[in-house]
Amino acid sequence: MGHTSKTITFRLSGSQYDQLAREAELRGVSTGELARRLALETLNSGPDDGVTRRLMELQQQLRRLHLAVARACMVLLIDAGHCEEADAKQWVKDELLKDVDGRDNRTG
């Protein structure tokens, strides 16, 4: 007998949804996929004293900060007239985003 999946829906406040949407955008996934991943991570993590959750929150905050600094750096390089947009994007990718979460991260 095969495993069947079930659908689940739930409500979030406007600010919670906005937070989920921003994080999903940073990760390059839909809000539904991020909600699914977060639910599975929670279910698969076992008993939690809050430390793991806090570490995950800090990791997400650090990644958002890293991407914000990368974007700001790219804007400064372009606006100061020292780089063409393509060169600035490549520099940011090579120098600032090369190992964030082990992914090929891009500023947009």
Distance CA 2, CA 22 (A): 36
What pLDDT shows up at residue 96? 85
Distance CA 31, CA 55 (A): 21
Closest CA relative to residue 72, chosen from 87, 92, 58:
92
What pLDDT shows up at residue 61? 93
What pLDDT shows up at residue 13? 95
> Are 107 and 97 within 8 A, CB to CB?
yes
Grouped pLDDT means (10 residues each) for the chain, 108 residues: 84 94 87 93 74 86 90 90 87 80 47
